[in-house]
Chains A and B, each alone.
Chain A
């Protein structure tokens, strides 16, 4: 059927119509013929059978009654039927009864009657039918019909039918030739249009419209398709133009490669690169000097572009250099993983480094399978160089920052230089670095620091630390004028110092001045072995560094000054604070002293009175009373000294020569309970060793104070030995630090000792190591006492081994005067006295003591009462000779009382008793209207003395 496809559509249509017509008509015709034949035969059988049956029926009686003549006559009737060529009637016995044969026909009959049936023989039909009567077979009839009629009919049909068939086919062909145009014409037109479009590639052509039936739709669809193709083509062209614009103009190298790494498409930049590279290689491969003779594909870019298409790198570069790229692309094809933004360093033929950033991606088709690779690469050398430059700058900055930080932590110039030099050596780096200090007066430079790595070199150049440099008219002198000096090659300078450096193998040297406020104080030297070894960023860095160093050095100087000022300030503040603290303490102490003085006044008065007025006292009572009196005096002294923390003792303090050994023994006795009894209760044992040098000279002192100081030291020693030990009290004669002849009293223990901090601070007031138990005042008081006696104190201690406190008291310069006993005070004449006080116990003791001297004593409790009593007495005749008044009283105090009394009777002496007496005396703050001030506790002797004085002194003028 292949030839059918090759036929043009017109012929095809004709053929199809003709064949269809024939195919439809021919079977119809054949069917008709066959039907006719079959129908004819069936009709023949039917007719013949009917004929046979009729004959059989007619022959019944003939056969029954054996009338052959009549039977023959019946058979002769068959001659009217042209089809029947022979007939035969058989009797019941099967014998031939009568027979008929068409004239001219030769037929032989079966001798015996055949079975009843019909069958076809060639050219004839035989029908045998039984003859029955009353369902009994009484014979048979045999008929033979000729088939000639059938054949005649068949041929007749053929003769008529075949011409009709042919005529029909021809007619259909003619008709189709005319009618096929309506189908083939539009198709041919369409085909023509398509051919035109295909040949010219002109998608703007359109096929002529064909109406609205199928062909019309086809044409419209074709036109629409053309329209779409046209639009797609336009879009494609646009995209292609864009792509070409990109590929032809971008400086990036862009390529597409297939799976075998063969180039499919490259950008113009890539093409040019490859072209130039190939040319370069080719030129290099030629023998030197010969003119370059390029092969054809390298003659121009267009030819090279053709050459490149379908080639891989391996086709024109050696395998070594392309293997990596090839492997990389294979990896991308295999895994489908792109390489993005990979930066590669490439060393060019010229030796310079170039940097390329490349991106390679898998190239996929519509189904997503990888069909190659594509990518771009960009020359990023400039960016990379800038980046490196930036990096270097950053590192410099970091270095500068590090150095700045490091030197900021240091305050002395030496270590600042050390740091800077070391960093310079290690991190810039330089081959030699040193720092010099400039002595302006001597106009010399002294090397102060040399880097660790430069040390050997420095030694060989006689530039080791502390070496002096001569300043000649070279870089150094310029540098000392404040410029950064760069010598690219010192071997070219004729001056001695550069020559010295050159001899050490150094070439490029930088001298950087260290300058603070236009004052050069040093030079920093950095050097490298290479000629022109420093570029301008290096110089700039060194310059900045030198400025930083100078600044740091300046700051270090300032810091030192500041530190010193601060230290002074701190010390003076400490002193002020301590004084302030002592002052507060003194104020507090005087309050306490007042109360104590009041409290012990009766003890003092009574014991003195008893000792004087009771001659019959037993010796033991006398001794006890004397001890009481001494203790009270000590208490009074102690209280009086409380204020001494903040003010030096007044000069008039009476120093009385005393024997130190006596005082030491008294102290040992007084403190026995602490060092003997109390430790024993705790189960520890303290042994006391008294090593008292004999024949020691007397020294001027206040006995009670010395006793207290020693007592304090003993108590401390005991406290330092909670587990027992040896307590030593030692006296001797020894010179102190200033070679004065001094009495030394020493208290040492074998206790826990003191660390350095404690030893240094133990004399400070309120410094204690005893926690709640200590006041922090003991040693401070000792120190005060010692200082008041013009002496000194020494403390030695080893922690865990014990401590020794050593007190130095200067001996009297002149011969010690024997202790002046207090002069006897005569009992004043009997007087009428007024006592004003708010303390009834004091009043009572004072009255009794005064009355025992024979005075008339009137007491008044409180200021107002005193004034009232005095006024009442003045109004009468019993005026008072003198008035004793307390200073501190509620409501109306001593001053008011004194004022009032003087107002009433200016001549009456007023003697003020006060717990603050010593202070009033010391400050010279004798209140107005008061003639005498006596401190509490008043001693009988003082009372008598005061009364004697007031009675002899004329009343004040005012």
Chain B
């Protein structure tokens, strides 16, 4: 417990340090991704995967990044010493869609915007939470999509897409996010 708390305190200290550096322009972008990285991890807590998504209890949560990685070290720092239930979190980075295998959350970088429909088509009905920061991602069948409102990071949620992928999204999360209703689903 003590050890866990220390880890927890350290993580937040680092987070605060990073957050303190935000006012600079370069740092502003950096700070945006730091928040987005934290949000990625938070999503894991408020979404429930179907029982078949994990073959083993100890099987780690895998956050996959397709395309260019905008987070840099921020995501690695965010997942360090973070767990979802008993599952540790790992980050994988892929250039091509074909490489994407065994991940529960797939972040599609802006660099892949042109392949967006292909990617979403391929991942449809798979228990993978798809997240992006691409305009129209949610409307296109992606599940969560970041957007900026002022200088605040916000996100859209497509509950229908989530239902297709057999993922349950917490009501609290739905409360926070902007609901994109594409029909064909509940909500």
Q: Which residues of A contact B (CB under 8 A)?
A: 58, 60-62, 64-65, 67, 70, 92-93, 133-134, 136-137
Task: Identify which of A58, A61, A67, A134 contacts B84 (C-beta below 8 A).
Answer: A134
- Say which one of B129-137, B138-146, B160-168, B172-180 lies at the interface with A: B172-180
Nearest opposing residue in chain A for B5, CB measure: A137
Nearest opposing residue in chain A for B42, CB measure: A64
Q: Which residues of A contact B170 (CB under 8 A)?
A: 61
Q: Say if the beta carbon of B39 comes within 8 Å of chain A.
A: yes
Task: Identify which of A65, A70, A92, A93 contacts B42 (C-beta below 8 A).
Answer: A65
Q: Say if the beta carbon of B182 comes within 8 Å of chain A.
A: no
Q: How far is the CB of A63 from chain B (nearest CB, A)?
A: 10
Q: Which residues of A contact B16 (CB under 8 A)?
A: 93
Task: Identify which of A60, A92, A136, A137 contacts B172 (C-beta below 8 A).
Answer: A60
Task: Identify which of B4, B46, B85, B176 contacts A67 (C-beta below 8 A).
Answer: B176
Whether B176 lies near A61 (C-beta < 8 A) is yes
Whether B12 lies near A61 (C-beta < 8 A) is no
Q: Which residues of A contact B83 (CB under 8 A)?
A: 134
Q: How far is the CB of B47 from chain A (nearest CB, A)?
A: 12
Whether B173 lies near A61 (C-beta < 8 A) is yes
Complex Cα gap A815–B13 (Å)? 221
- Given A64-B45, A134-B83, A58-B172 contact (CB < 8 Å): yes
Q: Which residues of A contact B172 (CB under 8 A)?
A: 58, 60-62
Question: Which of A61, A70, A93, A134 has most chain B Cβ within 10 Å?
Answer: A61
Provide 5 A-B residue pairs closer than 8 Å at the C-beta atoms, listed in order of the A residue.
A61-B173, A65-B39, A65-B176, A70-B175, A134-B85
Q: How far is the CB of B60 from chain A (nearest CB, A)?
A: 15
Nearest opposing residue in chain B for A67, CB measure: B176
Q: How far is the CB of A904 from chain B (nearest CB, A)?
A: 202
Closest 6 CB pairs of A and B: A61-B172, A64-B42, A65-B176, A67-B176, A61-B176, A133-B45
Whether A134 lies near B12 (C-beta < 8 A) is no
Q: Say if the beta carbon of B54 comes within 8 Å of chain A.
A: no
Q: Is the interface of A mostly helix, strand, loop or mixed?
A: mixed
Q: Which residues of B contact A92 (CB under 8 A)?
A: 12
Complex Cα gap A886–B113 (Å)? 229
Q: Which residues of B contact A58 (CB under 8 A)?
A: 172
Task: Identify which of A61, A133, A134, A136 contacts B175 (C-beta below 8 A).
Answer: A61
| B70-99 vs A, Cβ < 8 Å mask (1 yes, 0 no) | 000000000000011100000000000000
Nearest opposing residue in chain B for A58, CB measure: B172
Q: How far is the CB of B92 from chain A (nearest CB, A)?
A: 22
Complex Cα gap A151–B39 (Å)? 48
Q: Which residues of B contact A (CB under 8 A)?
A: 4, 8, 12, 16, 39, 42, 45-46, 83-85, 170, 172-173, 175-176
Other 14 A-B pairs with CB < 8 A, given A60-B172, A70-B175, A136-B8: A58-B172, A61-B170, A61-B173, A62-B172, A65-B39, A65-B42, A67-B176, A93-B16, A133-B45, A134-B45, A134-B83, A134-B84, A134-B85, A136-B4
Q: Which residues of A contact B84 (CB under 8 A)?
A: 134
Q: How far is the CB of A614 from chain B (nearest CB, A)?
A: 202
Q: Is the interface of B mostly helix, strand, loop or mixed?
A: helix
Q: Which residues of A contact B46 (CB under 8 A)?
A: 61, 64
Q: Which residues of B contact A137 (CB under 8 A)?
A: 8
Complex Cα gap A58–B171 (Å)? 10
Complex Cα gap A133–B84 (Å)? 10
Q: How far is the CB of B175 from chain A (nearest CB, A)?
A: 7
Complex Cα gap A67–B39 (Å)? 12
Q: Which residues of B contact A60 (CB under 8 A)?
A: 172
Q: How far is the CB of A131 from chain B (nearest CB, A)?
A: 12
Complex Cα gap A92–B12 (Å)? 9
Q: Which residues of B contact A93 (CB under 8 A)?
A: 12, 16
Q: How far is the CB of A360 from chain B (nearest CB, A)?
A: 107
Q: Which residues of B contact A67 (CB under 8 A)?
A: 176
Nearest opposing residue in chain B for A61, CB measure: B172
Complex Cα gap A61–B44 (Å)? 12
Question: Which of B16, B85, B172, B175 has most chain A Cβ within 10 Å?
Answer: B172
Nearest opposing residue in chain A for B44, CB measure: A134
Nearest opposing residue in chain B for A135, CB measure: B4
Complex Cα gap A67–B83 (Å)? 22
Complex Cα gap A241–B88 (Å)? 122
Nearest opposing residue in chain A for B155, CB measure: A65
Q: How far is the CB of B80 from chain A (nearest CB, A)?
A: 14
Nearest opposing residue in chain B for A57, CB measure: B172
Nearest opposing residue in chain B for A60, CB measure: B172
Complex Cα gap A133–B172 (Å)? 13
Q: How far is the CB of B158 from chain A (nearest CB, A)?
A: 18
Complex Cα gap A247–B148 (Å)? 140
Q: Which residues of A contact B175 (CB under 8 A)?
A: 61, 70
Complex Cα gap A679–B148 (Å)? 207
Complex Cα gap A58–B176 (Å)? 12
Q: Which residues of A contact B39 (CB under 8 A)?
A: 65
Q: How far is the CB of A58 from chain B (nearest CB, A)?
A: 7
Question: Which of A58, A65, A67, A93 has most chain B Cβ within 10 Å?
Answer: A65
Q: Which residues of A contact B12 (CB under 8 A)?
A: 92-93
Q: Which residues of B contact A134 (CB under 8 A)?
A: 45, 83-85
Q: Which residues of B contact A136 (CB under 8 A)?
A: 4, 8
Q: Which residues of B contact A62 (CB under 8 A)?
A: 172, 176
Q: How far is the CB of A263 from chain B (nearest CB, A)?
A: 106
Q: How far is the CB of A137 from chain B (nearest CB, A)?
A: 8
Q: How far is the CB of A177 from chain B (nearest CB, A)?
A: 71
Q: Which residues of B contact A64 (CB under 8 A)?
A: 42, 45-46
Complex Cα gap A6–B85 (Å)? 82
Complex Cα gap A248–B88 (Å)? 129
Nearest opposing residue in chain A for B170, CB measure: A61
Nearest opposing residue in chain A for B39, CB measure: A65
Q: How far is the CB of A432 from chain B (nearest CB, A)?
A: 154
Complex Cα gap A70–B175 (Å)? 9
Complex Cα gap A474–B13 (Å)? 182
Complex Cα gap A60–B42 (Å)? 11
Q: How far is the CB of A916 from chain B (nearest CB, A)?
A: 186
Whether A70 lies near B176 (C-beta < 8 A) is yes
Nearest opposing residue in chain A for B174, CB measure: A61
Complex Cα gap A67–B4 (Å)? 26
Complex Cα gap A62–B177 (Å)? 11
Complex Cα gap A359–B176 (Å)? 130
Complex Cα gap A137–B83 (Å)? 14
Complex Cα gap A61–B176 (Å)? 8
Q: How far is the CB of B167 from chain A (nearest CB, A)?
A: 16
Complex Cα gap A137–B12 (Å)? 12
Q: Which residues of A contact B176 (CB under 8 A)?
A: 61-62, 65, 67, 70
Nearest opposing residue in chain A for B41, CB measure: A64
Nearest opposing residue in chain A for B16, CB measure: A93
Q: How far is the CB of A352 from chain B (nearest CB, A)?
A: 131
Nearest opposing residue in chain B for A133, CB measure: B45
Complex Cα gap A93–B15 (Å)? 11
Nearest opposing residue in chain B for A134, CB measure: B45
Complex Cα gap A933–B111 (Å)? 234
Complex Cα gap A42–B45 (Å)? 34
Q: How far is the CB of B58 from chain A (nearest CB, A)?
A: 16
Q: Which residues of A contact B42 (CB under 8 A)?
A: 64-65
Q: Which residues of A contact B85 (CB under 8 A)?
A: 134
Nearest opposing residue in chain B for A136, CB measure: B8
Nearest opposing residue in chain B for A73, CB measure: B175
Complex Cα gap A67–B46 (Å)? 15
Nearest opposing residue in chain A for B1, CB measure: A135
Q: Which residues of B contact A70 (CB under 8 A)?
A: 175-176
Complex Cα gap A65–B176 (Å)? 8
Complex Cα gap A137–B85 (Å)? 14
Q: How far is the CB of B48 from chain A (nearest CB, A)?
A: 12
Q: Which residues of A contact B173 (CB under 8 A)?
A: 61
Complex Cα gap A92–B83 (Å)? 17
Complex Cα gap A64–B43 (Å)? 10
Q: How far is the CB of A735 from chain B (nearest CB, A)?
A: 190
Complex Cα gap A60–B170 (Å)? 11
Q: Which residues of A contact B45 (CB under 8 A)?
A: 64, 133-134
Complex Cα gap A537–B46 (Å)? 160
Complex Cα gap A93–B9 (Å)? 9
